């Protein structure tokens, strides 16, 4: 089995998928813009060959170069787990006649309006929304949708340029902030708890499924720097509260024609129990979500994903043993990290539950919290009991404080 894998070393978690593919005996043909000499040793060891391209995000150029590179060689798969490359992989699959999702199918996972239209066409509940390109169109859409409403880019990520608009008075200032966004979605604000539904699919059916709860909701976490965002995998997926969302998730996969691989969906649960679709990608969630899922079941999804997409098999146990919580920290102040309060005590008290502590070390420059959910680092912990896992996460959020100067 020969598989082309796009961006095998960047972002860093891609290195784990490269490893997963190699470990199940696949010859991995990596394509990326990391110079060959700068590939980490462990990645190099897992690659059968590597094509360095000038810019991995330049789709036409990448397609042309990969086509020339593979001339006369047959490959069995073309894979990508980075959101910005899933369409490039689909184009390459179509070009080589390799099995997997087509460009049209993958578009349903990339374009938020098309996605909602396809999901709604299957009779599923999505936020009432309009695609708007001008301020005039946005005003007209706001009139029809009413307040509160959400304005966000059609192809956004990480809650960038996403706003909740409370009333008419707030509309104009928000539109003024969004002038650089080419195409936006103006949509009904869904008030409710926000969850994920994550899978590894084989032919559109989840061989593995996961739900996380966001505490608080991503838009709130991305708007307030003082918050330490928390995401917790839910150990018990059989509870009534989640049944609607998981059912919705499975139907969304069918509606969008999911094939093999990871999916990452977001959904809302309103106080009256109604569930509403948020968005979905045909790739894994970022910000260490795959690590969290691995800690939930003590498995290696990097490898199982490879097995699923290459051989249509999933061998790891799916028994859920823990609720795994990740707590992202943001330092107070700008510049370099100078001090971390409460960490040593927390680690001593909860050493049985903390599985990773990856806060930036003293002296390291702060990261831009608007650009990366990981912010100034994270703590990952797990506990079999849901309430306890959440309590520990809240304690880490409030009692550990990072400072920068």
Rule CB under 6 A: which residues touch ligand ADP? 127, 150, 152, 156-159, 162, 187-190, 194, 217-219, 266, 278-279
Q: Among ligand ADP, Mg ion, none, what does residue 281 contact (CB within 5–8 Å per kind)?
A: none
Contact letters (x/-) for Mg ion, 236-275, by CB under 5 A? ------------------------------x---------
Q: Among ligand ADP, Mg ion, none, what does residue 83 contact (CB within 5–8 Å per kind)?
A: none
Considering the complex, what minimum distance in angstroms separates the CB of residue 60 from Mg ion? Answer: 28
Is 17 strand, coil or helix? helix
Residues in the chain: 405
Q: How far is CA 111 from CA 80, 336, 375, in A?
A: 17, 38, 27
CA distance 47 to 175: 47
CA distance 338 to 404: 5
Considering the complex, what minimum distance in angstroms separates the CB of residue 68 from ligand ADP? Answer: 34
Considering the complex, what minimum distance in angstroms separates the CB of residue 238 from Mg ion? Answer: 25
For ligand ADP, the closer CB: 93 or 116: 116
Structure tokens at 329: 């920290």
Q: Among Mg ion, ligand ADP, none, what does residue 162 contact (CB within 5–8 Å per kind)?
A: ligand ADP
How buried is residue 396: exposed, middle or buried, by Cβ count under 10 Å (0-12/13-18/19+)?
buried
Structure tokens at 141: 């859409």
Structure tokens at 343: 């960490």
For ligand ADP, the closer CB: 265 or 308: 265
Q: Among Mg ion, ligand ADP, none, what does residue 190 contact (CB within 5–8 Å per kind)?
A: ligand ADP
For ligand ADP, the closer CB: 150 or 402: 150
For ligand ADP, the closer CB: 194 or 304: 194
For Mg ion, the closer CB: 152 or 330: 152
CA distance 196 to 214: 8
Cα–Cα nearest to 286, from 360, 349, 215, 374: 374
Q: Among Mg ion, ligand ADP, none, what does residue 245 contact (CB within 5–8 Å per kind)?
A: none
Contact at 8 Å (CB) between 185 and 161? Answer: no
Considering the complex, what minimum distance in angstroms separates the CB of residue 84 from ligand ADP? Answer: 12
CB count within 10 Å of CB 240 equals 7
Structure tokens at 3: 């598989």
In the complex, the residues that contact Mg ion under the rule CB under 5 A are: 266
């Amino acid at each position: 089995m020969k598989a082309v894998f796009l961006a095998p070393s960047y972002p860093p978690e891609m290195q784990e998928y490269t490893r997963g593919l190699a470990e199940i005996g696949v010859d991995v043909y990596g394509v990326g813009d990391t110079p060959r000499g700068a590939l980490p040793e462990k990645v190099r060891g897992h690659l059968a060959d590597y094509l360095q391209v000038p810019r991995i995000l330049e789709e036409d150029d990448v397609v042309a170069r990969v086509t020339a590179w593979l001339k006369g060689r047959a490959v069995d798969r073309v894979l990508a787990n980075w959101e910005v490359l899933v369409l490039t992989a689909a184009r390459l699959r179509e070009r080589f006649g390799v099995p997997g999702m087509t460009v049209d199918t993958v578009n349903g996972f990339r374009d938020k309006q098309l996605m909602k239209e396809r999901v709604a066409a299957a009779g599923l509940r999505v936020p009432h929304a309009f695609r708007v390109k001008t301020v005039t169109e946005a005003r007209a859409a706001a009139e029809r949708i009413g307040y509160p409403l959400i304005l966000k880019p059609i192809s956004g990520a990480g809650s960038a340029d996403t706003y909740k608009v409370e009333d008419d008075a707030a509309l104009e200032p928000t539109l003024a902030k969004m002038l650089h966004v080419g195409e936006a979605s103006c949509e009904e604000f869904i008030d409710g708890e926000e969850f994920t539904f994550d899978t590894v699919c084989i032919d559109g059916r989840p061989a593995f499924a996961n739900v996380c709860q966001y505490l608080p909701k991503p838009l709130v976490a991305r708007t307030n720097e003082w918050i330490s965002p928390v995401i917790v995998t839910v150990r018990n997926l059989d509870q009534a509260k989640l049944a609607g969302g998981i059912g919705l998730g499975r139907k969304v996969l069918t509606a969008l024609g999911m094939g093999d691989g990871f999916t990452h969906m977001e959904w809302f649960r309103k106080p009256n129990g109604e569930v509403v679709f948020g968005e979905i990608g045909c790739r894994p969630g970022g910000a260490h979500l795959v690590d969290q899922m691995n800690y939930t079941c003590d498995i290696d999804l990097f490898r199982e994903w490879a097995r699923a997409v290459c051989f249509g098999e999933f061998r790891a146990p799916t028994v859920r043993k823990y609720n795994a919580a990740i707590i992202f920290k943001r330092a107070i102040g700008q510049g370099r990290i100078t001090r971390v309060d409460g960490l040593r005590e927390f680690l001593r008290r909860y050493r049985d539950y903390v599985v990773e502590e990856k806060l930036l070390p003293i002296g390291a420059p702060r990261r831009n919290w608007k650009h990366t959910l990981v912010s100034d680092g994270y703590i990952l912990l797990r506990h079999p009991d849901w309430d306890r896992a959440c309590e520990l996460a809240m304690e880490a959020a409030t009692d550990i404080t990072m400072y920068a100067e």
